[in-house]
Every structure is written in C-alpha cells, then in structure tokens.
Amino acid sequence: MAPRNCQAGGDTITKGSDSKVPELSGTTTPGKAEPKLTIVCADPTISRKTYKQRLALATSSQGSLFSLFRHFYQPFLILFSVPGVFYMSLVYGGMMVASNVIVTTVSNWMTREPYNFDADQIGLMSLAPFIGSSLGTLISGPLSDWLILFLAKRNHGTYEPEMRLWIIAVFAPFVPIGMILFGVGLNSGWPWPILVIGYGMCSFGTAPAGTIAQTYITDAYTEIVGDAMFAVTFTRNICSTTFTFALPPWIAAAGLQNVFITMGVLITAILFGSGIFVAFGKRFRYRYRKTYRKFVARQFDAQAI
C-alpha cells in the first residue's frame, strides 16, 4: 500500500502499510484530562478528475437520494441550531439591506426636486459605492491577516476564528454614519456631494463586514461550510427582498429621515453584536459541538475533485 501523509497536532507523519502512527501526547495541566488528538490522513493514490470530467454538465454523487434530499432542508436546521451561523447570516443580510436601501432610494428620490437627476446621473451615483467597497476590501484583507497573526502570537500561537471579528468593529461605524448622513441629507435637500460621501462611507463598511462574516463561517464550521453558506445566502436574499418591497410604504408612513435613522440604529446593533462572539464565540462553539458533529456526520463523503 502506498504511504499516506497524516497530520496530527501540526506534525506530518508518513504512514505505510507496516508502520504504526506514533503515540502523540501534549502538555497537560494536572487535574485535567489529556486532550484527544485527531489524525487526518490523505491518500495520494486517489486520482484527480480529468479536465473533461471536471467540465461535465452532470455528475453523480456518493450516497443515496435521501442523503441528497437532506441537503435541501439541512441548511435551515443549521441556521437555527448553530448560533454562529445564525448571527453571521444576520450580519451578511444586514449589509445587503443597507446597500439596497440606498440603491432603491437613489433611483426613486433623486429624480425629484431639488436634484432632478437623469438616468446617467443616477448611474454615476454608483461610483460612490464602487470606490467605497473597493477601498474597504483592499484595506480589510491585509489588516485582517496582520491582526490574526498578532492575536495568534499573543494566544501562544493558537488561531481562533473569533479573532477576525475584531475587524468588524473597525469598519462598523462607517455603515450607520453613512446611512444617516445620506438619509438626513436627502430629506433636507443637502448638496449631492454630501450624499455621495455618505453613500461611499456606507459601502466602505458593508463590504469588509460581509466578507468577514463569510470568512468566519469558513474558519469555524469548515466541515459544514456548504450547508452553512447556503443558509447565509438564503438569509441575505430574504432580507434584501423583504426590505426592497417594504421600503416605499415604510417611507410613506414614517418619513425618509426617520427610516434611515432607524435603519442606522438596527445596523449598529447587529454589527456590534460581534463583540458577543469575540468574547463568547469559543464557548458557543464548544457548547454546540454535539450539534455541529451531528451535521458533520450527515455530509457527503469526500471524493475526487
């Protein structure tokens, strides 16, 4: 049998047919049980699919039809059973709502007095979120990588997914400030450059927050990331669609300025909820570990890609 590369505790072990995996032990504290180590082996004899096979329109999957059907409803179970997935879905959906609210308002209100924008000018307003989201993404990526390395060193070399959530606190203030600046300015007839600044500020904060939410899902719930991301996408679409259709009657009833102030407060509450996961996220993952393992056991078996 061909040798397999096994990884346990950061060490790589070559395992053959006649060899034994050495006993692994870690540093333990008196009075505490020795931690259990999991050995993950990769078999190099598993062939990679050909280029033509990877481009196939339809492929067969391992498992029964019931196991396939299970993935139609399992994302919803994960959404309401795993706190981390639920909260990150709320963050991602909230960021999409913040963007869509402004987009809808620009197209409906800035064609009126005192702006009287035509179709070209309405389109050029999209330069603000393009610049804001681009800058936010370019800054948040390297900043996030530097921060997790810094925090991991302080944590004795151990990385935890919650470390990335500090980045949300850095960009969170820009979202409500930008929304309120845009809403109050539009309601009061302020010059359009002020509205552009508010629009750009909002996008500068929404892009990194949404990205960090997805990254946290990938890092913390790796084995169920497919179902978890489905839940995140579903929540995003529901939030976006609901607020898009509910916005016009809400503005008519409460007023443009009040709607944007309320939205700013709601987005602030959602974003700064990340502090709860920074402080207690690891405890949440430990408390719901059995639920997580149950969903892991329901995933499809690994196969060639």
pLDDT of residue 47: 78
**pLDDT of 27:** 43
pLDDT in tens, 140-186: 999 999 999 999 999 999 999 999 999 999 999 999 999 999 999 99
Categorize the per-residue pLDDT at 190 as very low, low, confident or very high, splitting at 50, 70 and 90. very high
CB of 125 within 8 A of CB of 105?
A: no
Q: What is the pLDDT of residue 33?
A: 54
| Alpha carbon separation from 69 to 59, 65, 144 (Å, rounded) | 16, 6, 37
Query: Phi and psi dihedrals of 219, rounded to 5?
Result: -75, -40
Mean pLDDT of 115-134: 94
**H or E element in which residue 4 lies:** strand 4-8
Please report the pLDDT score of residue 301 as a whole number: 58
Averaged pLDDT, 15-24? 44
Can you give the pLDDT at residue 18?
46
Sequence letter at residue 272: F
* Spatial contact of 191 and 114, defined as CB atoms under 8 Å apart: no
For the entire predicted model, the pTM comes to 0.77
pLDDT surpasses 50 at 40: yes
Residue 117: per-residue pLDDT: 94
What pLDDT sits at residue 69? 81
The structural domains of the chain, ordered by start, are: 68-297 (1.20.1250.20)
Q: What does the pLDDT read at residue 291?
A: 94
